[in-house]
Structure 1
Amino acid sequence: MGFSQIMFSWTAIIPVIVLLYYFFRKKYTDQTVSSTLFWSEIMQETRVSPYLKHLQKNALLYLQLLALLMLVLALMNPYVKKSTIVGAQTIFIVDTSATMLAGKGQSTFDTHKQEMLTLMDELNGRPVTLITTGAAPKAVLQQETNTKEIEKAIEDLQVTYETAEMNKALDIAQAFVGDTPTSIYVFTDTLDKKQLPMDKDSVKWLVRGAAKDLTNIAITRFAATTDGQVTMALVQLHNDTNVEQKVTLALQNAEGEKVVAESVIVPPNEAITKTFKDLPLDKSMTALIDVKDDYAIDNQQTVLLQTATSEIVVDQGMHQLIQKGFQTVSSGVKIVPSLQVADNQDATVITNQTALLKKMEKPLVLFGRDDAEKVETSGTVSTTSDALFAFSELKDVYVSAVYPGFSTYQTIATIGDEPFIQRSPKGDIVVLADIADTDWPLHPSFPLFLWSTEQQLSEAVGSLGIFTPNEQRAVALAQGDWSVYSQEEEFLSSVTMGMLAAPKQPGIYMVRSNNEEKHFIVQLQAQERVIEEGTSYTLGDIPTIGKEGTSKASFVPWLILIILVLLVSEWEVQRRRGFTN
């Protein structure tokens, strides 16, 4: 605490003058009068309360002295130092991924929103930029100074269930910094310090993470397949805690009835896999676990079951490992001469004939290319969060050469900077390498990749497959007006020019046009099913060219209010005594 106008301390002499006035005012001598002796009994109460009598007698003096002292303090302008946000501007980066819903009692996301609203008192007019994460980060506010607009934008924030992809949001934030001293708040659950760009001295990073004691047991993988008669399901559970957990795992049909239930023990920090055979047929199946943890959304997962599976036709020119691989994952596989492959329009085709990409009506799988030369490559394989890699991790696969990619196709796996696996707008899956140039068949991910490929292309017959939250993808639909509906028949959006925008919440949805209907699933990405220990820290500092990190909160408004109350009290005391006295 301090005084910014200490020069006015001389006014303290004013209360002293008033006090001296009361000392030298005219005094009277007490004289006993016989006619008042009978009042002595009545005045006993006053005599036994001398302090109250003194206060009543000198109330006006005390009120005047207190009012004058408050006035002296107000003239000296007392204040306390209050912390404030440093820098000339502030940037909020808000993680809106699904894991932000984890929390004890209150989610991490809601906790961060409350902290952002609290920081409004420390802005002191600084402009605020608000950025949300996701596949396409969005600048909700840009250099906004209106406090009400900032508070409204914060209150309207919602979880989008997308993976954060924090690097993209950090790049956008850097574009707003320039050479301006900036405080950047990152509201997330966990963030490695190595991800923060520290190339600018004018930035202070303040990372606000989740609590460190959150627990989670998740369904990380769930798949179900059918041969038209019975269903087989595979469920993978992961325990993120350091304590052994006992959970109840159940499978439900489309009507919500339990098909099977089993008590499962999951070791600490480990994953286990359970398989169920000879289950009844249904349109869909849901796996759920009954457990008390701090993240509930990953305790349930749903898949669609397709009883009508398409035949798989493998080009005879394909490598033997590809032929044997598909024969292992599916019973309906035919090996067909290369010249006859194009005649199988109703089958799922596995080939390297690039020309068939346009000739075949159904999506196919292309291993290699017969219309281009491959080039040597090196580096590690990295994949996107595509559903095709839900069960197969390719990070340890070695590839020596790749074919050039298709410029209009979506790249879902790369080797260094080169495309490795692509997906066409029609749904074709293209592997831009010959199996002979890789050690992929030596990895467990190879048959799992073939199985995932077969499942996705088979699902395309009666459904649109699996989407991630808010994913936009071109879908193969007949001509007509298609609309997206929830299971409760609620209209959500329209399919425009073949592009379907998936809803944000996981679950089963449908697209409908007249009497035709197809289902699809929105599913959390794998990284959104595991929560990590929260991290909070501060990095960097802003030099003195920025604004100070503290502000002065003055007591003057409160002192003025106290003075007004004292003046009203003085008036009331004077009124009761009589103004003539």
Structure 2
Amino acid sequence: MGISNWGLAWTLIMPIALILYYFYRKKYKDQQVSSILYWQQVMKEMQASPYLKSLQHHLLFYLQLAALLLLVLSLLNPYFKSDGLEGEEFIFIVDTSASMLAGSPSGLEQQKDLMKDLAEEAQGKPVTIINAGSTPEILIGRERSVEDLQQGIESIDSGYESAEIEKAVLFAETLLEENSGVIHIFTDSLDRNILANKTGAAYEVHALNEKPANVSLRQFGTAEGATGYRAIVQVLNDSESPVSGAIELSGGEHGVSTEIELEPGEEKLIPFENLPANELWQATLDVEDDYIWDNQAFTFNSQSVDAVIIDNALHNLVARGVESLGITGNSASAEELPNFTGIPLITNQSNLIGGNSPILLIGRNDETSFAVSGGVETGNHPLFAYAPMDDVYISSLYPGFDNFTPVATVDGHPFIQLSPQGDIIVLADIEATDWPLNPSFPLFLWSAVNELSGSDEYLGTFLPKERRSIALGSSGGEWEIFKGEEYQFSHIEGESNFCAPKEPGIYRAVNDEETKTFIVQLNNEEKVLNSGQDYSAGNLIDTESSTEHSVIPWLLLIILLLMLAEWEVYRRGTSYR
């Protein structure tokens, strides 16, 4: 308790003057007259108790004196101090990665409880909360209300993506307005080297001191063998006791499982042979541990294109464009091309369309070209998702194929067509365009090879909340994302990059025409659990860690109640006169 305004101590003369007034005021004696006989009857109850009568005679004096003393005290500005967090402003960096969900209660819940306690100790000083995801995100900015901070902290949820603590620290340092700020980091563990030699602020690391028991499914993959598909599952017991359980593989209506036993720290590779030819497989680890999100893994058996066959009659720029994509371009003569099966062919041999291999036809060997002018107009197709054709110049075209679907035109004439079998037709020689000089040329080749590989039904594997530009190619542009039968959100193609869901699993992108599958998989970093120690780093300018709380509002409330009591005394007519 303290006083901050001793200069007004002279006001104590006012209650002293009140006391002197009551000492020297004129005395009266009781005198019965006929006009007060009625009031004597009313006063009988009070006259029955001499103590109550004495109190009532002096009550007004006590109330006035108490109110006056409290008024003088409030002028002196009394306050009391309470200990709080050291610093003038605070930034909380919270790790919301999947590994923080391990344990019961989870590490994230433990850190949220600690954040609530520290937010209360901040006692009205500004607090900013940052989510340390792949991109730092401000969840709450310079909030002073403890209640709002508590609600905001309670609403924090895991983003499942790997935490970028170092990036979040650099971002937090730009938000501090003065050197008396403190950055609190809430995570499972943090290397001291990250905060080494930092002097712009003070850093407090709040780590998880106990490491949860965990058995993780580290790797899962499938490949085609001589007698069918085979799978390999890598599993690790990262705990201090032996465990037993099972690994189950499921794909469509097919399923197979095997029992496992692991010693502490033991790692095993579990093979599965003679699996049926199913595109999508899921591995599930059934054990008792403190972390469930690394007990599942997924894989999709899409056709990977490592090489294509290029007709050696085509311009050399075609081969260079393919090789720039990291795809091997094997050269072959026109006579050798029919001998290839299943692998994409890039040629101008029109007779190969509809054969045993997917075809990217560039030009035609059975027709004569004609001159054209004007810009290229493209339709809504995945081929052009990364390869805009606005600046491409075409000097001549070949006649189009009947009953083939045009997806790009020049002067109303077909430029790029699709066959009913899915072959891609470019009705121009490379020499008749400036396309190879445009960045869209290799991107078009990449889209075309992916289209021919038959992987258009699989969008790929994503990390949680990963943003990526993908070619969906719907006519309406709107896709609904489902996990099983549960609707997640909608994505409008072309408005922004696709953002994957945060929770691992198998998802479907659905529109009116087709369905595409994609997988959300944890980063391998999130399959490793850590524990650490709390520590401090950095420098902080000396500041007062306690907070002064004025008691004037409470004093004014009491004075108001005393004044109401005085009014009641006057109303009852019980003051001594």
TM-score (norm 2): 0.59
C-alpha separation in 1, matches of 2:185 and 2:444? 36
Same amino acid, percent of matched pairs: 32
How far apart in 2 are the matches of 1:51 and 1:257?
Answer: 95
Task: Please tell me the residue identity of whatever aligns with 1:506.
Answer: P
- CA RMSD between the two structures: 5.3
* 1:136 positional shift: 2.9
Question: Counterpart amino acid of 2:167?
Answer: K
Equivalent positions of 1:323-342 (< 5 A) are: 339=331
Structure-1 separation of matches of 2:541 and 2:445: 51
Whole-angstrom distance in 1 between the partners of 2:241 and 2:454: 37
Distance in 1 (CA, whole Å) between partners of 2:491 and 2:561 is 61
SS of 2:123's equivalent? Answer: helix
Equivalent position of 1:327 in the other structure: none
The 5 Å alignment of 1:9-88 reads 9-11=9-11, 63-83=63-83
Inter-CA distance 22–131: structure 2 relative to 1 (3 Å threshold): same
Partner of 2:524: 526
Task: From the superposition, tell whether residues 497 and 550 of structure 1 become closer, same or farther in structure 2 (CA, over 3 Å).
Answer: closer
Distance 2:277 2:83 in 1: 63
| Cα shift at 1:169 | 2.1
Give the structure 2 partner of residue 164 of structure 1. Answer: 163
Does the C-alpha gap of structure 1 residues 8 and 313 become closer, same or farther in structure 2, counting only changes over 3 Å? closer
TM superposition shift of 1:493: 1.8
Counterpart position of 2:374? none
Matched, 1:99 2:92: no
Secondary structure of residue in 2 paired with 1:194:
helix
Query: Which string of whole-angstrom CA distances, capped at 9 and with x for unpartnered residues, describes residues 207-246 of structure 1?
Result: 333x4235241424242536597665544444554x4154
Q: Separation in 1 of the partners of 2:361 and 2:51?
A: 104
- The separation in 2 between residues aligned to 1:573 and 1:55, in whole angstroms, is 12
Q: Which residue in the other structure is 2:554 paired with? A: 558
Which residue of 1 is the match for residue 460 of structure 2?
Answer: 465
Amino acid at match of 2:557: L
Aligned-residue offset at 1:193: 2.2
Mapping of 1:505-544 within 5 angstroms?
A: 505-512=503-510, 514-543=512-541
SS of corresponding position for 1:121: coil
- 1:158-209 C-alpha deviation (Å, 9 max, x unpaired): 432211122222233344458755333333332222102534x442223333
Task: Tell me if 1:137 matches 2:136.
Answer: yes
Matched-pair contact (CA < 8 Å) for 1:251–1:259: yes
User: 1:339-418, aligned counterparts within 5 Å?
Assistant: 339=331, 346-347=342-343
Q: Quote the residue 1:225 is aligned against.
A: 222
- CA distance in structure 2 between the partners assigned to 1:22 and 1:492 by the alignment: 82
CA distance in 1, matches of 2:454, 2:52: 91
| 1:253 matches 2:255 | no
Structure 1 residues 258, 6: CA separation in 2 closer, same or farther (over 3 Å shift)?
Answer: farther
Q: Which runs of 5+ in 1 are unaligned?
A: 30-42, 316-335, 350-358, 362-407, 409-422, 429-456
Q: Distance in 1 between matches of 2:557 and 2:495?
A: 66
Over alpha carbons, which structure has the higher Rg?
A: 2
User: CA separation in 2, counterparts of 1:213 and 1:130?
Assistant: 24
Deviation of residue 4 (structure 1)? 0.7
What is aligned with 1:289? 286
Contact 1:246/1:266, CA 8 A, preserved across alignment: yes
Instruction: Please state how far the C-alpha of 1:74 moved relative to its aligned partner.
Output: 1.9
Indicate conservation of the 8 Å contact 1:473/1:501, yes or no.
Answer: yes
For 1:518-537, what per-residue CA distance to the aligned partner results, in whole angstroms no more than 9, with x for missing partners? 31210111111223214433
Tell me if structure 1 keeps the 8 A contact 2:5–2:76: yes
Secondary structure of 2:549's counterpart equals strand
Q: Which residue of 1 aligns with 2:192?
A: 193
Corresponding residue to 1:203 among 196, 201, 204: 201
- For 1:553, what is the secondary structure of its paired residue? strand
Distance 1:245 1:7, change over 3 A: farther
Contact 2:220/2:234 (8 A) holds in 1: no
Distance 1:215 1:425 in 2: 49
Give CA deviations for 1:342-371 in whole Å, capped at 9, x if unaligned.
96684499xxxxxxxxx999xxxxxxxxxx
Q: CA deviation at 1:64?
A: 4.8
Q: Is the 8 A contact 1:234 1:276 kept in 2?
A: yes
SS in 2 for 1:521: strand
Please say if residues 56 and 574 of structure 2, whose CA atoms lie closer than 8 Å, have aligned partners that are also in contact.
Answer: no
**Partners of 2:123 and 2:146 within 8 A in 1:** no
Structure 2 residue matching 1:297: 3-state secondary structure: coil
The answer to whether the Cα contact below 8 Å between 2:116 and 2:149 also exists between their aligned partners in 1 is no
- Normalising to structure 1: TM-score of the pair? 0.58
The alpha carbon displacement at 1:465 in A equals 3.4
1:504 is matched with 502
Distance 2:206 2:116 in 1: 12
| C-alpha separation in 2, matches of 1:180 and 1:360 | 66
Offset of residue 287 of structure 1 = 0.5
Change beyond 3 A, Cα 1:71–1:526: same
**Whole-Å separation in 2 of the counterparts to 1:517 and 1:269:** 42
The equivalent position to 1:118 in structure 2, one of 73, 97, 120, is: 120
Matched, 1:568 2:557: no
CA distance in 2, matches of 1:251, 1:193: 40
Where 2:561 maps in the other structure, the secondary structure is helix
In structure 2, C-alpha distance between the alignment counterparts of 1:270 and 1:64, rounded to whole Å: 82
Letter aligned with residue 197 of structure 2? M
1:116–1:154 Cα contact (<8 Å) kept: no
Q: How many residues align?
A: 438
Measured against aligned partners, the alpha-carbon deviations of 1:10-67 in whole angstroms (never above 9, x if no partner) come to 55565566667778897999xxxxxxxxxxxxx9xx99xx999987886656555544
Letter aligned with residue 123 of structure 2: D
Q: Distance in 2 between matches of 1:64 and 1:261?
A: 88
- Give the partner amino acid of 2:132: T
- Supply the distance in 2 between the matched residues of 1:222 and 1:66 (Cα, whole angstroms): 78
Deviations 1:441-468 (A, max 9, x none): xxxxxxxxxxxxxxxx999576333211
Deviation at 1:506, TM superposition (A): 0.9
1:470 CA drift (Å): 1.8
Matched letter for residue 554 of structure 2: W
Secondary structure of the corresponding residue to residue 122 of structure 1: coil
CA–CA separation in structure 2 for the residues paired with 1:93 and 1:470: 19
Partner of 1:215: 212
Kindly indicate whether the alpha-carbon contact (under 8 Å) linking 1:215 and 1:240 is maintained by their aligned counterparts in 2. no
**Mapping 1:139-154, distance limit 5 Å:** 139=138
Provide structure 2 residue ranges, at least 5 long, that are not aligned to the other structure.
31-44, 310-327, 346-359, 363-438
Structure 1 contact 312–348 (Cα < 8 Å) conserved: no
1:254/1:284 contact within 8 Å kept:
yes
Question: Does structure 1 conserve the Cα–Cα contact (< 8 Å) formed by 2:195 and 2:537?
Answer: no
Change (3 A) 1:142 1:521: same
CA distance in 2, matches of 1:555, 1:13: 22
Deviation at 1:554, TM superposition (A): 0.9
Which residue in the other structure is 1:389 paired with?
Answer: none
Kept after mapping to 2: 8 A contact 1:179/1:202: no
